[in-house]
Amino acid sequence: MSHVKVSESKSHNLSGFILAGGKSSRMGKNKALLQIEGKTFLEIATEKIRPFCKEVFVIINRSQEESFRLVNANFVFDAIKDRGALGGIYTSLKFSSSPLTLVLAVDLPLVEPSFICRLIRAAIEMDTDATVSIDEKGFIQPLCAIYRTDKCLPKAEKLILERENASVKDFLAELSMVKVTSKTKQLLNVNTTEEYEEALKLAKTRLSLK
């Protein structure tokens, strides 16, 4: 793949969306407001994708509006209520004004900007519907991914409107994909207190190595 500089990738081609509308039921508190090294997960996610995107939005559900009252961000509400991760992806595609739509879950606080740049390079160079992450265990992480808006929006909309129980897995089955693999734990999904503690340790270790 050809080299793409960070400064070159911030253009009209890419809109960024942070998915922060989860219920955080296993954590018991709003994960977007958890902190690592004095910054909230939401601040971390925003700082990491902003250099690449012409616009950045945070997707939440209406019941969370009060908890984000003091947060300075561009918020949009879920286009369809209570549809989980697929609803978040659909909302991102619906509000995107760019050919490429970057989706990042707020509970992936360890994702490196260099990895996001790898996703962007692959999305630009490969004519596929989606460019998705693969974690160190070989599992797809569809919430750290780039979707080609014109190809993915109609497929997501059809699926979410016709099937009430449709999942992200069902959506991915409709797409052509290129996969970008991480060999580290940067795609750790923080859903529980134990995973949060692991993320804190990994962040501390990573910072000490820089």
Residue-wise pLDDT tens digits, 98-137: 999 999 999 999 999 999 999 999 999 998 999 999 999 9
Q: In this model, does residue 86 exceed pLDDT 70?
A: yes
Give the chain's end-to-end CA distance (angstroms, integer).
Answer: 27
In sequence order, what are the beta bridge partners of 36? Answer: 39
pTM tops 0.75, yes or no: yes
Q: Which domains does the chain have, with CATH numbers?
A: 6-209 (3.90.550.10)
CA distance 90 to 157: 7
